[in-house]
A and B are shown apart, each in its own frame.
Chain A
Amino acid sequence: MKLYDLVIVGAGPAGMAAATAAAEQGLTVAVLDEQAAPGGQIYRAISAPALRDEGILGPDYYHGRRLLAPFARAAVDYIPSASVWEITREREVRFSAGGQARTLRAGRILLATGAQERPVPFPGWQLPGVMSCGAAQIMLKTSGLTPPAPLVLAGSGPLLLLIALQLHRAGVDIAAVLDTTPRDNYLKAGRHVGGALRGWKVLVKGLGYLARLRASGVACLSQVSQLRAEAGEDGKLARVHFTHQGQPRTLSATSLLVHQGVVPNVQLSRAIGIDHRWDEQQLCWRPVTDSWGETNIPGIFVAGDGAGIGGAAAAEQAGRLASWQMARQLGCLDRQDRDRLATPVRRALAPVLAIRPFLDVLYQPAREFLTPSDDTLVCRCEEVTAGDVRRFARMGCTGPNQTKAFSRVGMGPCQGRMCGLTVAQIIADTRQSTPAEVGYYRIRSPIKPLTLRELANLGDTDQP
């Protein structure tokens, strides 16, 4: 089994910056990443972007090249197309790549597994033709593909508007952008306006997306509710129903892209047994870490959106901070030098993070997406509805694990990634409790599919 000072999971902004910083301090580093090329989701395919026209995605995407170049030069063992399916408290990392399972040992481990889009349950969200906004953006970045018209976008948050703008620039005809942000959120977010002003650059950018969409003649409807997707005779999406300013409306649609923000990807940190806490503003779980990213399990760190949503700019700085602390723990950096490096980074981070409470509250999903109607499929794998989950909660199921045993909710191939937040929220709501109290699924390894052959041959090979 090969031993590294540091094994990093994920090659997005946090992982790339952390690997580069750690290698500079003399650590031996391996980076395991699920994708075929570095970049994570935000800088997906940045080493070979699909689109010829760089104006479509805009400069924030191509900023990723500034992380990629030093990462590519760094003395790092980079292992792409590797899915990590188990990490032990003894810091053994098991993963599969190219049909082979292997184990690495690590002095320190950094989880830089980033975010996933918050699943958006509403009636009909499982129909072919309905996708997440992030999925459409990934297709632009990696393949230069755009969804077929008529196209409707629906949801809340800056990414919804950014992707609408990118698709518009790509020449896609957009039938409407439906903003589901509840009116009350503006009042609630007002309390955090001080932080918003410190991070004004982000705000101006978001307002700019909306202004440019409107100026381009794209129909942008606000205060939309009661979103529902309906299939045609072929079983695929045909119509989008919603209420706008009290009036029921229907649009024909071949494609519907939905978005309700992003949440930390906690599958791996959960499976290791790291402590998590419920974040009341971001309405999601996040691993508990100290100011360097270290968790309650010594030697295991989390950096970037996987530790709580802060965005790409914050993620790369968090990756560096974690690396310097790990270098100090391993005797490659003394305390003074660590702090000399960290101080300007912490100063740069402050305004980037200051705007988060405002954004987090403003773009909290409407209740209809947090605790959807009874007829909404919650667990897409096992086809369990919100009504089923409510029924079991009323029968006395106190949390997601008990409800799973009764209904199979969360038992399918996605291992609860798509329903976990919703199930906890529905149970909490039904029992007049909180997600923090009802808890979350017990996640167990393997957290990614592997074949029995891979498992059986584990240990035969120890070369990276």
Chain B
Amino acid sequence: MQTDSPFNRLETASAATVTIEIDGQPFTAREGDSVAAALLAAGAIPSRTTPVSASPRAPYCMMGVCFECLVEVDGLANVQGCMVQVSEGMRVRRQNGARALTQGDVHEAV
């Protein structure tokens, strides 16, 4: 996918990778990356815009505190990207402004 000032990857102990989708574009992340780390490695920044003023934001704390890395993961919105690890075939979407209803909000009646 298109990259813009991405984070740089040093030589890692394991070379295992997984392919995820960011806004529909394939990206090769490292196994063990959080979704937020993958967004930074992909240069997919800003990773969201705010519901209040649509201003651009990116992950800040990477440890579950700041909630700046909220993204849609496999149809579920408002997921803390730094708290979820990437997995093969995962679909990540950036959230712009106030979130809309997603497929994760709607369940079949059982």
Contacts and interface: CB of A to CB of B under 8 A. Distances in A.
Interface of A: 34, 36, 41, 45, 48-53, 56, 83, 116-117, 119, 126-132, 134-135, 138-140, 142-148, 170-172, 235-236, 254, 265, 380-383, 412-414, 417-418, 449, 451, 453
Interface string B1-21: 000011111111110000000
A418 B66 contact: yes
B33 A414 contact: no
A380 B45 contact: no
Given A142-B37, A145-B8, A383-B50, A134 B67 contact: no
Question: Which 5 residue pairs spanning A and B have beta carbons closest together?
Answer: A128-B58, A135-B62, A413-B67, A145-B7, A414-B67
Interface of B: 5-14, 30, 32-34, 37, 40-41, 45-47, 50, 52-53, 55-68, 70, 76, 78-80, 83, 85, 104, 107
Contacts of B58: 128-129, 131, 236
Nearest to A170: B10
Nearest to A131: B60
Nearest to A453: B107
B46 A128 contact: yes
21 contacts: A51-B10, A116-B65, A119-B66, A128-B57, A130-B60, A134-B63, A139-B7, A142-B32, A143-B9, A143-B30, A143-B32, A144-B9, A145-B40, A171-B10, A235-B55, A235-B56, A236-B46, A380-B57, A383-B50, A413-B67, A417-B67
Given A147-B7, A236-B45, A413-B78, A138 B13 contact: no
Contacts of B70: 413
A139 B62 contact: yes
A126 B49 CA distance: 11
Contact of B10 (A132, A134, A144): A144
B12 A383 contact: no
A40 to B, nearest CB: 10
Nearest to A254: B5
Contacts of B53: 383
A52 B13 contact: yes
A146 B55 contact: no
A161 B46 CA distance: 28
Contact of B83 (A34, A41, A119, A171): A34
A412 B61 contact: no
Residue among A53, A128, A171, A380 with most chain B CB within 10 A: A128
A131 B40 CA distance: 11
A135 B59 contact: yes
A144 B62 contact: no
A453 B11 CA distance: 41
Given A142-B37, A145-B7, A48 B14 contact: yes
Nearest to B60: A131
Given A50-B30, A52-B11, A145-B37, 5 more contacts: A49-B13, A117-B65, A131-B59, A139-B40, A451-B104
